[in-house]
Amino acid sequence: MVNHMEVYEGKAKRIIPLDGEKAIMEFKDDATAFDGGKKAKFKGKGWLNAQISAHLFRVLEEKGIKTHFIGVAGDNRLIVERLEMYPLEVVVRNVVAGSLKKRLPLDEGTELKEPIVELYYKDDSLHDPMINHYHARVLGIGEAELREIERIALKVNDILREYFRERGIILVDFKLEFGKNSRGEIVLGDEISPDTCRFWDAKTKESLDKDVFRFDRGDLMKAYGELYRRFSP
């Protein structure tokens, strides 16, 4: 998020600051992969990601996780609390997939004995490199903050893993981002959607996330729509 009144536009979202401590988070229909090397638009994708994120933020709030979510402001817009964001992407992994299979001698689809938490420095020009606590502290993020961020990330994992298990979905891995609000609290920000998570159907192991677009595995909107259908009223 931003701390001034300029609009921030990313690959898939637009942040529009409002007066006070609020902002609009607008989800676009754009899809990108491979550092922007692959791009497309899917009508209705922004609506689905906004609705999925809003629903999952509510699930987490009910379980005691502080998030920046305030409410829905339209089909593809959420009202959120403005945060001073940490320059981190926090990835939690439950199953071997994606880049992890290149770094561990384990087959794709192997369930991990315990979740793995990874930190990445959020910088497109550096291609978001993986870092550890030593790097993070050099960047000015305190050890206590890192521990708290990781604690929250693992709690989010426990909550969402069970939530999706009950709906026939495997939460393979996902990315979170955190920031501090005006009261100095560490708060979960950004989004939780099939753009930032890997979801597999528990029976077929078919992807219900952006890997459908990344690797041309079928109809992206059908996959996102099926995910939404599993927990919508």
Of the pLDDT bands very low, low, confident and very high (cuts 50, 70, 90), residue 104 is: very high
pLDDT above 70 as % of the chain: 97
Cβ contact 12:27 at 8 Å? yes
175-190: pLDDT as tens digits: 999 999 999 999 999 9
Q: How many domains does the chain have?
A: 2
CA distance 80 to 15: 10
108 and 174 share a domain?
A: yes
In a domain, 3, yes or no: no
192 and 109 share a domain?
A: yes
CA distance 174 to 193: 9
Q: Has residue 19 got a pLDDT over 90?
A: no
Q: Which of 81, 99, 127 is the last residue of a domain?
A: 81
In a domain, 1, yes or no: no
Q: Which of 81, 104, 136 is the last residue of a domain?
A: 81
Of the pLDDT bands very low, low, confident and very high (cuts 50, 70, 90), residue 35 is: confident
In a domain, 131, yes or no: yes
Q: Has residue 120 got a pLDDT over 70?
A: yes
Which DSSP state fits 225?
H
Of the pLDDT bands very low, low, confident and very high (cuts 50, 70, 90), residue 1 is: very low
32 and 130 share a domain?
A: no
71 and 155 share a domain?
A: no
61 and 157 share a domain?
A: no
108 and 181 share a domain?
A: yes
Question: What is the domain range of residue 53?
Answer: 8-81
107 and 192 share a domain?
A: yes
114 and 193 share a domain?
A: yes
Residue 7 pLDDT: 85
60 and 18 share a domain?
A: yes
In a domain, 229, yes or no: no
Q: Which of 63, 81, 99 is the last residue of a domain?
A: 81
User: Looking at residue 72, which CATH number applies to its domain?
Assistant: 3.30.200.20
77 and 111 share a domain?
A: no
Measuring CA to CA, which residue among 66, 68, 82 is closest to residue 2? 82
Cβ contact 192:51 at 8 Å? no
- Its pTM stands at 0.95
Which DSSP state fits 101?
G
In a domain, 2, yes or no: no
Residue 152 pLDDT: 98
Residue type, 133: H
136 and 35 share a domain?
A: no
Secondary structure (3-state) at 177: coil
Q: Has residue 156 got a pLDDT over 80?
A: yes
Residue 5 pLDDT: 59
Q: Has residue 3 got a pLDDT over 50?
A: no
77 and 104 share a domain?
A: no
Mean pLDDT of the residues in the chain: 95
In a domain, 144, yes or no: yes
User: Looking at residue 214, which CATH number applies to its domain?
Assistant: 3.30.470.20
Which helix or strand (DSSP H or E) is residue 149 part of? helix 143-165
Residue 233 pLDDT: 65
Average pLDDT estimate for 151-162: 98
Average pLDDT estimate for 12-34: 95
